[in-house]
Structure 1
């Protein structure tokens, strides 16, 4: 009978349709992009698996739905359906065949409902990525980005949780003045992370709001480096005896040259480098002479090197010459006598003696210009307030790993031009020393929170550190007003390297069109469907066409108009999936506000 044949072949029909749908879906997934090679293998497999799941689910559900429908329409107990439906079909005669046919096909319709829905899904236009795949992040994306909601450095808030990361990676904060990066990024983390931290505090508010809590509750030793303030308790000398005594001549020379490069940086628009380079060489000569002779030196003593009276340092030969020439009425320059003494001193390294001979042979007028350049660049180290803080050394940078220490580097905005050399030297010394040993122990992790660091001038480690911070357990947080500010002090190439190596970016509202364009370009495009309609007076004659085009997920106008309490989080490798988050302002949290009221004790 026809119904028996239909019943016997129902399962074959179902699985045949399933196989056909699977083939169609596979082809569709492969060609869903205009260029199939744009699809990563992982994406293709994921799409195929998703469609396979829908097809198989529809096929599996078809059988029980068919049995249940038959049981209901023919009043057959569900468990007896396979046996009694066969007898029912055999007992049917031509008088009620039409009724059976209607009920039978109704059962088939119910059974095919899941497959029909799967078919509808499969032939719904796929989301193309031909012109870009940018989209807003969902909560399920944060783990792929290396983020979590439990522990680590706080970036912002989203989905009712604090978004954090607990790895020694770098973050770049892009925030124009007044957008709240200090209140939303730096202060909340100083109030939560007990690890050692080095903090640039331009306005002085960071220290006043967090030092007490870090000292009393997070059990940190608190140090303040503030050359022009009265609260400084940290001393720093890059050429201290403890450090120099452990090094050979070549290592000492490398440190001296590093400091010299910081004090005598090469300007981008420099046309004649002679005077700067020669003044830098003189700095290196003076520093190495003092270190080799006394075991250490200070920046103040190097500043005074060509100015001081060297009479007491002269050997008998040169002292007697000085006395005789003065008896003849000559004005004797003891420094030039010292240069001759150094040049003939066989106990000193040949490099130092060679430099002394070089400067002895320099014409007086030229040498005077060299010393003038030297004195101008070194003038800040002649300030007695700076001298007091750079004559000694409070601790070696390695202690930041051994103990929980917070070092606040305070510098008012008006003092940045004059104090930037000593602050650059301090930062470079700390970072270079800490990069002498790798570390993976979370307890030894040291956070560098460098607010407004670009304003202090070029730092050697700025471009290098993000790519190697994991190895040395040195997560660093750079805060800049815009990409343009980074270009100003470094270069476009350096900016691109930094954007490639920092793990995360936190972007606040931009103030300038170009800055907003830079951020918008970083996020990228998504593929939009554009529907066009032909112009016809008679509506029924109009034709429609759909095309694809690239559209920015976040336009420059969007960046310029981000609400003050919103930020974008961009993760390297996932920049096309930005997180729209809430800024984590400490003053909006009652518990955090209470922490800032704890005052530091002077010890």
Structure 2
């Protein structure tokens, strides 16, 4: 049978070809017999009569993708006559001409068609979106947050402005947060100083410190500082050195009390307030004398009555007045209770290791603002009773970062952030350092972990402060659902051609990525939400990318020496004093509890201190509030008098 073939290139996507061909052929009087999108083929027929002849034409059209368009092949044959080759050629030319003209119309229509939005407009960011946002760059500018590997010398990095809006790095233990985000930023951003936090799993060296400190010191010419309350090979920091006013003392006291109060403590808050007020007095007194928290713990051992004379001679006016008021207006049992509870809160400072590491400051803080430095803070995750010490030191360093102007860029790499306890006002402080162009990478396991430490309201405010959010594959459906909702809904618009040539339309909605897809993310991928682009499904760094840099040995610090005198002094601090026994007896009388022997009371008091050193958050039995003291106590807690201790 006679036939004619032809082909041509079209700038039409494969998904639109079937519709284009159906419209063109029906417009020319052809009847589609079968349309197969999967096989990319369409067959149509046309029967025509011209007396005394009749013709039956068949057109077979097939296409295959070619770049951004398609290559179309056409065969036209006539089945009833053997002499109709000219007719086949005319039909072939007619079809190809109509398709070429209609293709231009279709391309224009696609360009003008609005994006379907009935159910949502969420979409994945394209490479063009990343480039337009200014995120496709090299890593020469150390102010840029390194997010993902790119091609050649270009990485996906946030602009300095977006980096300063802070980043959340969220993923369960072992998901790759450290390898994919924290290590690349510490290795690449050598012209920026850094404050680094991390948690250790056991007695092994902190991971980030061991793998990056040597490289940053050598290649980055940075000064390296390190503090770990469980490692004597640390620099020493005395948090009382940061106290310059009475309100500073009050903030430090609040920090200690909040990080040594159980989350399940629903008792009367007059006790924590009274303890905060008393600790504020002792901190202000110690700051004026150049002392430390170990000194305060030794003062408490003397008891409320024996300290009256000493506190009346304090160089700080507020201390003299506040302590006198506390001693005169409170009942004896209440005073003993406050002292006993405060001694328990400071029980860590009977540990020679903690006392030695916090008794002085061996870092020249005045030089930090002028040099490039990296300050590593580590805390053992399984020794959670050390969290109050870690919180104090982190707060000390953060306060310094807030107050200083640094000659070199600075960023905060806060991996396993919640292991450092509760940092008061952290949401507001993130806003302060953002204005100083100091970016923060906040590493947590999930949102619920942050809510457990800070509460839902504070955690929600913190999330609002974070411009970039990076998620690794979660292990629970709750977290996956949160991430899915964050990505948003998209509208799916489908326009298909049936096997008989009918054009069908369908519009529906679905999550851009549903929870099951979030939970099955490949190990090589992570989800990234940025201030300027749609969500991004990105490749992530692996340990192989920085293997050579991580092999540089970490910086080794000299061991802090603990002498026999300190060991003996700390041992003496553990001894139960007569006033403690007397005070506990008084409390039991007021509570109408059964009397017990002095020896039994001593054992109970010793056990309370021992329990404190083992529990996640120390808890203790509070005495009943003193109604005579409660009103005055609350009024006193609201006072924040200022006094500069610089010249004392």
Bin for the TM-score computed over the shorter chain? 0.5 to 0.7
**Judging changes above 3 Å, is the alpha-carbon distance between structure 1 residues 403 and 139 closer, same or farther for their aligned structure 2 residues?**
same
The equivalent of 2:398 in structure 1 is: 431
The equivalent of 2:146 in structure 1 is: 154
In 1: Cα distance, 2:485 partner to 2:120 partner: 12
Counterpart among 109, 113, 117 of residue 122 in structure 1: 109
CA offset digits 1:332-366 (Å, max 9, x no partner) = x7x524314544x5964145323333224422222
In 1: Cα distance, 2:100 partner to 2:494 partner: 32
The equivalent of 2:489 in structure 1 is: 525
2:535 maps to 1:578 = yes
Contact 1:147 1:164 in 2 (8 A): yes
For the residue of structure 1 that corresponds to 2:155, the secondary structure is: strand
In 2: Cα distance, 1:468 partner to 1:144 partner: 29
Contact 1:139 1:159 in 2 (8 A): no
The total of aligned residue pairs comes to 447
Q: CA RMSD in A?
A: 3.3
The equivalent of 1:407 in structure 2 is: 375
In 2: Cα distance, 1:235 partner to 1:583 partner: 37
Task: Give runs of aligned pairs for residues 381-460 of structure 1, distance below 5 A.
Answer: 381-395=349-363, 397=365, 399-415=367-383, 417-437=384-404, 444-460=408-424
The equivalent of 2:307 in structure 1 is: 338
For the residue of structure 2 that corresponds to 1:516, the secondary structure is: helix
In 1: Cα distance, 2:210 partner to 2:437 partner: 27
The equivalent of 1:140 in structure 2 is: 128
The equivalent of 1:307 in structure 2 is: 301
For the residue of structure 2 that corresponds to 1:506, the secondary structure is: strand
In 1: Cα distance, 2:398 partner to 2:362 partner: 16
2:563 maps to 1:596 = no
For the residue of structure 2 that corresponds to 1:402, the secondary structure is: coil
Deviation for aligned residue 1:457? 2.4
Contact 1:199 1:407 in 2 (8 A): yes
Contact 2:232 2:357 in 1 (8 A): no
Q: Which 5+ residue runs of structure 2 have no aligned equivalent? A: 1-92, 201-205, 558-648
**Judging changes above 3 Å, is the alpha-carbon distance between structure 1 residues 387 and 346 closer, same or farther for their aligned structure 2 residues?**
closer
In 2: Cα distance, 1:474 partner to 1:116 partner: 53
Q: Which 5+ residue runs of structure 1 have no aligned equivalent? A: 1-105, 309-332
The equivalent of 1:83 in structure 2 is: none
The equivalent of 1:99 in structure 2 is: none
- More helix per residue: 1 or 2? 1
In 2: Cα distance, 1:488 partner to 1:337 partner: 40
Contact 2:381 2:419 in 1 (8 A): no
Counterpart among 238, 262, 273 of residue 255 in structure 2: 262
Task: Give runs of aligned pairs for residues 360-379 of structure 1, distance below 5 A.
Answer: 360-379=328-347
2:166 maps to 1:170 = yes
The equivalent of 2:562 in structure 1 is: none
In 2: Cα distance, 1:433 partner to 1:457 partner: 18
For the residue of structure 2 that corresponds to 1:473, the secondary structure is: coil
- More strand per residue: 1 or 2? 2
CA offset digits 1:525-546 (Å, max 9, x no partner) = 1112368999xxxx98x99874
Task: Give runs of aligned pairs for residues 472-491 of structure 1, distance below 5 A.
Answer: 472-491=436-455
Task: Give runs of aligned pairs for residues 489-528 of structure 1, distance below 5 A.
Answer: 489-528=453-492
Contact 2:285 2:319 in 1 (8 A): no
Contact 1:175 1:480 in 2 (8 A): yes
The equivalent of 1:95 in structure 2 is: none
Deviation for aligned residue 1:181? 0.9
Deviation for aligned residue 1:112? 12
Deviation for aligned residue 1:601? 5.1
Contact 2:169 2:442 in 1 (8 A): yes
TM-score by length of 2: 0.63
For the residue of structure 1 that corresponds to 2:438, the secondary structure is: coil
Task: Give runs of aligned pairs for residues 514-553 of structure 1, distance below 5 A.
Answer: 514-529=478-493, 546-553=505-512
CA offset digits 1:572-599 (Å, max 9, x no partner) = 354xx211111212x222xx21112222
The equivalent of 2:226 in structure 1 is: 224
Contact 2:122 2:489 in 1 (8 A): yes
Deviation for aligned residue 1:166? 4.3
TM-score by length of 1: 0.67
Contact 1:339 1:357 in 2 (8 A): no
**Judging changes above 3 Å, is the alpha-carbon distance between structure 1 residues 432 and 361 closer, same or farther for their aligned structure 2 residues?**
same
